[in-house]
Amino acid sequence: QSVLTQPPSASGTPGQKVTISCSGSSSNIGTNSVNWYQQVPGTAPKLLIFNNNQRPSEVPYRCSGSKSGTSASLAISGLQSEDEAHYYCAAWDDSLNAWVFGGGTKLTVL
């Protein structure tokens, strides 16, 4: 059972916008920034969003993050086949003194 809760799956058609949620608590998302990772099957994870809504330079503008209270979300607009991957949220937990991850969401592009 993961500390952060994500839906196990999401899907959309090319060009659509998809949103993935991540729910936590006051000791993690409620207090600290949320980060999102993309993992294409067979490869190492890649940082997609950090500090709730900041994108590394190589990440396309189509990806955006937001946070409100103890929940966060990742939005991918203009969905493309290359977006098909697993997505994980993560945050530092002040009570556990540890990084915690969501269980991951498998995004399928139909």
Footprint on this chain of other proteins (rule: CB under 8 A): 2, 32-33, 35, 37, 39, 44-47, 50-51, 56, 88, 90, 92, 96-104
Nearer to other proteins, 47 or 75 (CB): 47
Using DSSP, state whether 3 is helix, strand or coil. Answer: coil
- The least distance separating other proteins from the CB of residue 62, rounded to whole angstroms, comes to 20
- Compute the chain's Rg from CA coordinates: 13
Nearer to other proteins, 12 or 103 (CB): 103
- The least distance separating other proteins from the CB of residue 32, rounded to whole angstroms, comes to 7
Measured between alpha carbons, how far is 3 from 91 in angstroms, rounded to an integer? 10
Asked if residue 42 lies in contact with residue 27, where contact means CB atoms within 8 angstroms, the answer is no
Name 1's Cβ contacts closer than 8 Å, sequence gap at least 6. none
Nearer to other proteins, 50 or 62 (CB): 50
